[in-house]
Amino acid sequence: MTHYIIKEQEAGYLCRNGKFLRLLAAGKYTYPKALGYDVQIVPMSGEVKTCGIPENILMQDKEFSARVVKAAVPDECIAIRFVNGAYKEVLTKAETLFWNVYEKNEFKLVDITQPCMEDTLPRIYMDLMPVKFYKKITIKDGETGLLYFDMHYEKRLATGTYYFWNYGREVTCKIFNMKIQQLDISGQEILTADKVGIRLNLVVNYRITNPEKLVEKVDGVSGLLYTRAQLLLREQVGRFRLDELLNQKEELSAVILEKMKAGQEEYCVEIVNAGIKDIILPGEIREIMNTVLVAEKKAQANVIMRREEVASTRSLLNTAKLMEENRTLMRLKEMEYLEKICDKVGSITLNGGKSVLDQLSELAAGRDVS
Name the residue ranges covered by the structural domains of the chain. Answer: 2-111, 132-177, 181-281, 284-328
Residue 189 near residue 265, CB atoms below 8 Å: no
Q: Is the dihedral of CA 220, 226, 227, 229 positive or negative?
A: positive
Residue 124 pLDDT class (50, 70, 90 cuts): confident
Residue 85 near residue 78, CB atoms below 8 Å: no
Residue 370 pLDDT class (50, 70, 90 cuts): very low
Helices 221-237, 249-262: inter-axial angle, 10-degree rounding: 140
3-class SS of residue 212 = helix
3-class SS of residue 79 = strand
pLDDT over threshold 50, residue 175? yes
HSE-up of residue 159 (Cα within 13 Å, Cβ side): 7
Region for 304 from its dihedrals, namely left if φ exceeds 0, alpha if ψ lies in -120 to 50, beta otherwise = alpha
DSSP letter assigned to residue 123: G
Residue 348 pLDDT class (50, 70, 90 cuts): low
- CA dist 166 and 163 (Å) reads 9
Residue 363 pLDDT class (50, 70, 90 cuts): low
3-class SS of residue 170 = coil
Task: Report the pLDDT value the prediction gives residue 368, as an integer from 0 to 100.
Answer: 47
Of residues 350 and 107, the one with the higher pLDDT is 107
* Interval 273-283 mean pLDDT: 81
pLDDT over threshold 90, residue 108? yes
Residue pLDDT, tens place only, 212-250: 999 988 888 999 999 999 999 888 888 888 888 888 888
Q: What is the pTM of this model?
A: 0.63
pLDDT over threshold 80, residue 146? yes
Helices 327-344, 283-325: inter-axial angle, 10-degree rounding: 120
3-class SS of residue 180 = coil
Mean pLDDT of the chain: 84
Percent of the chain whose pLDDT exceeds 70:
84
Residue pLDDT, tens place only, 25-72: 999 999 988 889 999 999 999 999 999 999 999 999 999 999 999 999
Residue pLDDT, tens place only, 60-97: 999 999 999 999 999 889 999 999 999 999 998 999 99
Q: Tally Cβ neighbours within 10 Å of residue 224.
A: 15
Task: Report the pLDDT value the prediction gives residue 98, as an integer from 0 to 100.
Answer: 96
* Interval 128-133 mean pLDDT: 85
Task: Report the pLDDT value the prediction gives residue 369, as an integer from 0 to 100.
Answer: 42
Task: Report the pLDDT value the prediction gives residue 51, as an integer from 0 to 100.
Answer: 92
Of residues 160 and 120, the one with the higher pLDDT is 160
Of residues 295 and 124, the one with the higher pLDDT is 124
Tell the CATH superfamily of the 181-281 domain. Band 7 domain (3.30.479.30)
pLDDT over threshold 80, residue 327? no
